[in-house]
């Protein structure tokens, strides 16, 4: 019997995903929630084998969520299941401690493969992520194609909070860093993306995320 938690704030997505999970793992006990505080409550009271974790959920904390889950259950398998850009974010989430990254744009068969893979082997990377990893190792300059891929994990966190309209003090409190550190990250982000204002940042990121 496997014990799985699905953290996803859209009920229709939860329903469809649980249907696939039960198809792959007939002997399964599952819990579901649409926000991160409730997810932590479940993690603190239930021994879990797998957590499917969306990123853009109410009261979500980005990369910090993985660390908070691991403090409660160090050995649990975490599969990120999100619509955020796989090419840009997947490797960062893997480095942050996730066991896999699955795009919501994946086919039903790919979702089955990912769930079975992390349960059996504790790891899952899509073909796209594997190729991105190989490109990064073999041809570092390939990162120049999309400047977002040059941002560090912390820079991505700061950038995403800026795009949510948060001010320096709010970002510092959320990430538990100093205001001067936030300002330093902002300078680096602006330099790497070639922008001078937050408005230009919005426009630049919007264009890059539609990159083909």
User: 80 with 46, same domain?
Assistant: yes
Supply the pLDDT for residue 145: 61
pLDDT at 176 over 60: yes
For the ranges 30-44, 128-142, 152-166, the lowest mean pLDDT is seen at 128-142
pLDDT at 189 over 70: yes
pTM score, whole prediction: 0.78
- Average pLDDT score over the chain: 86
Q: What's the number of domains the chain is made of?
A: 2
User: 77 with 115, same domain?
Assistant: yes
pLDDT at 166 over 60: yes
Question: If you write DSSP's letter for every residue of the chain in order, what string do you get?
Answer: -EEEEEE-S-HHHHHHHHHHHHHH-SSEEEEEESSHHHHHHHHHHS--SEEEE-SS-TT--TTHHHHHHHHH-TT-EEEEEESS-HHHHHHHHHHTT-SEEEETTS-HHHHHHHHHHHHHHS-EE-HHHHHHHHHHHH-GGGGGGSGGGGS-HHHHHHHHHHHTT--HHHHHHHHT--HHHHHHHHHHHHHHHT-SSHHHHHHHHHHHTT--
pLDDT at 143 over 50: no
Q: Identify the domain containing residue 58 by its residue range.
A: 2-134
Q: What is the arithmetic mean of pLDDT over 66-87?
A: 90
């Amino acid at each position: 019997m496997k014990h799985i938690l699905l953290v996803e704030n859209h009920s229709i997505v939860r329903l469809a995903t649980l249907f696939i999970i039960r198809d792959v793992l007939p002997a399964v006990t599952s819990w579901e929630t649409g926000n991160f505080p409730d997810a932590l409550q479940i993690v603190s009271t239930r021994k879990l084998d797998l957590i499917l974790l969306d990123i853009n959920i109410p009261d979500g904390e980005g990369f910090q969520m993985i660390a908070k889950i691991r403090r409660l259950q160090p050995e649990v398998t975490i599969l990120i299941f999100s619509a955020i850009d796989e090419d840009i974010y997947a490797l960062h989430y893997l480095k942050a401690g996730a066991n896999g990254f699955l795009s919501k744009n994946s086919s039903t068969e790919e979702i089955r493969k990912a769930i079975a893979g992390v349960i059996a082997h504790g790891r899952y990377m899509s073909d796209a992520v594997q190729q991105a990893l190989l490109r990064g190792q073999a041809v570092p300059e390939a990162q120049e194609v999309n400047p977002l891929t040059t941002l560090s994990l912390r820079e991505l966190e700061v950038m995403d909070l800026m795009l949510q309209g948060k001010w320096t003090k709010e970002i510092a409190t959320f990430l538990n860093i100093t205001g001067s550190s936030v300002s330093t990250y902002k300078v680096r982000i602006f330099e790497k993306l070639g922008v001078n204002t937050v408005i230009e940042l919005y426009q630049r990121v919007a264009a890059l995320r539609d990159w083909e």
